[in-house]
Structure 1
Amino acid sequence: MPPFFTRSGSALLPAPHARGPWAPDMLHGRLLGGLLARSVEAEHGTAELRPARLTVDLYRNSRLVPLTVRTEVVRDGRRIRVVDAFVDGPDGTVARASCVMLRPGGQPPGTAWTAEPWDVPTPDELGEPNPRRGGSTPTFAMWRIGENDGDWSADQRRRVWMRETHPLVEGEELSPFTRAALAADLASPLAHWSTRGLNYINADYTLSLGRLPEGEVLGLEAGGHLSADGIASGHCVLYDLSGPLGHVDTIALANRRRASPPSG
């Protein structure tokens, strides 16, 4: 599959299939999170420090234009490193991220309460991906779990498996951290989709990881939605095939309505 971005000097050039669901010339927001995670990890990651939290602020919509990414370390200690990153376009900064990297160590004693993990079929058991009925070809594989044969209008908890089908940048393999950052943006439509479609556009999301994902398949389970006055707060649990690994929290603003589920 062709990549979402190719290099041109220090710039990254988006391909046509990097578009998002809101407008034909708008870059998909999840790719901004992927670019930010990629640069933070490539420029400041080490074997001794593990990415534990990534907050992505989506400042403005970006057209399909050349982009650059810059990073800076804002705190660097023995057990914690904090890095800020920015995606810049011709009209200025379109997104930023703050990433916290922590040094792993021994587990402390005691047991903390955790929610029961989901018990759902795997993608192999579900068969072919079923991202949506009709519409454009998705840019990632998605399996809805228990979604009434694709009926997203049902008032129920939404669960999906997903797998990337395109490289983010030409010639590069996705790291587990970048894969998680790309998946995390899906928490917004999962948490905020209603019986009348998706009426919110993502303003930010925070990905927190207890561990890095294993393998190519990731799952998300909506954990809650709260909204008032056109502002929504949502929560999802992030999974791989071994079990839960992190959480995603998202803030969204009311926006024009879409009538079809997200296709990537």
Structure 2
Amino acid sequence: MDASASSSYFERIDEHRYKPTPHAGGAWDRAEQHFSPLGGLLVHAIDGYRAGRPDDGMVLGRISFDILGRLAADECEIRVETVRPGRTIELVEATALIAGRPVVRARAWLLATLDTGPVSGGGAHRLTPPDALAPWPMSSLWPGGFIASLDVRPLAEPQPGRTTAWISTELDLVAGEAASPLASYLALVDTANGIAVRRDPTEWMFPNVDLTVHLHRLPEGRWTGLDTTVVFGPAGQGVTSTVLHDITGPVGHAQQILTVRPLPAAD
């Protein structure tokens, strides 16, 4: 399929199965999906699962994604179940399968909402709004359909291991379906590992094997703000740490563990 013919990252096949479009193409391998929109799709599936039940007043406070295998650019199946039910705290698990094998497992803690406005506070300062910033062609650094689909606006020139930027997209998560602001927001968070690269990705690999997001407030609007720092250790591991923002201020934090390795020399 020609990427220009699609306006979404996925197309629904049936109740549980989805087909990625070329816009979901990965940065490390063109035959793979980028994890970021797939992460958003898992949240979209959790939203659909919860929509079929009475409103319990709970919201997502934390979600962790473990990447278990290769994300081939093939149709995927998503299954959702409740692991730990409760009236004020609940744990939900969503699993993405490709060719019948689990490739991503997400666990979401849902917490009861209360009025804590009188004691709220702390966190980082608001970022310069995206409308005041110039776009950065991230596709000059990374290939793949997903990166090409993004509007990236850094607050300053990206530096090795340190970048703060806004990310947005005009594409739908699933064709013909309205995704929640949370699912759309989280579909862009995994981009953090690509905006503040420490080394040339044509010489070194540093993919993340997980993503964990903690939220103290649900994000609003179409922009995902990433204030990101990347650290490489001396023995093959790295960590990407991000303060998450929306246009009104900080909303939480994200962490990614990296496996760092040199690319094999070309023959």
- Which residue is 1:140 aligned to? 150
1:53 to 46, 62, 66: 62
Listed one character per residue, the Cα deviations across residues 127-159 of structure 1 (whole Å, up to 9, x for unaligned) are: 445435377571121112211xxxx4x446211
> Which stretch of the first structure deviates more once superposed, 14-23 or 195-204?
195-204
Which letter does structure 1 place at the counterpart of 2:63?
L
Matching residue of 1:207: 213
Distance 1:4-1:78 versus aligned 2 partners, 3 A rule:
same
Separation in 1 of the partners of 2:218 and 2:37?
Answer: 19
SS in 1 for 2:81: strand
Q: Distance in 1 between matches of 2:124 and 2:113?
A: 25
Determine which of 103, 107, 130 is the counterpart of 1:94: 103
Deviations 1:206-261 (A, max 9, x none): 0111111111012100145252311112210010110001110111112455xxxx
* 1:145-192 deviation per Cα after TM superposition (whole angstroms, max 9, x unaligned): 211xxxx4x44621110112211111112312112321221222345x
1:174 aligned residue: 179
Q: State the distance in 2 between where 1:210 and 1:156 align.
A: 25
**Cross-structure match for 2:3:** none
Distance 2:164 2:130 in 1: 12
Contact 2:123 2:250 in 1 (8 A): no
Counterpart CA distance in 1 for 2:20 and 2:260 is 27
Q: String of CA shifts for 1:50-106, please: whole Å, max 9, x gaps.
A: 111110111112211111100110111111111011001115011010000111113
Q: Distance in 1 between matches of 2:27 and 2:75?
A: 19
Query: How many residue pairs align between the two structures?
Result: 250
Instruction: Tell me what 1:117 maps to.
Output: 125
1:251 aligns with 2:257: yes
* 2:53 equivalent to 1:36: no
Q: TM-score, normalized by length of structure 1?
A: 0.85
**Partner SS, residue 205 of structure 1:** strand
Q: Distance in 2 between matches of 1:71 and 1:246?
A: 24
How far apart, CA to CA, are the structure 2 residues paired with 1:201 and 1:108? Answer: 38
Q: Tell me the distance in 1 between the aligned counterparts of 2:86 and 2:46.
A: 16
2:174 counterpart of 1:165: no
SS of the residue 1:27 aligns to: coil
How much identity, in percent, do the aligned residues show? 26
Q: Match of 2:44, SS?
A: helix
Any unmatched runs of 5+ in structure 1? 258-264
TM-align CA RMSD: 2.5
TM-score (norm 2): 0.84
Cα drift, residue 5 of structure 1: 1.2
Checking the alignment, whether the CA contact within 8 Å between 1:223 and 1:237 is kept in structure 2 is no
Answer yes or no: is the 8 Å Cα contact 1:131–1:144 preserved in 2. Answer: no
**1:79 pairs with 64, 70, 88, which one?**
88
| Residue pair 1:142, 1:161 contacting (<8 A) in 2 also | yes
Query: Take 2:215 and 2:141, find their aligned partners in 1: how far apart are those partners?
Result: 34
Of the candidates 177, 180, 188, which is equivalent to residue 183 of structure 1? 188
Which amino acid in 1 is paired with 2:85?
D
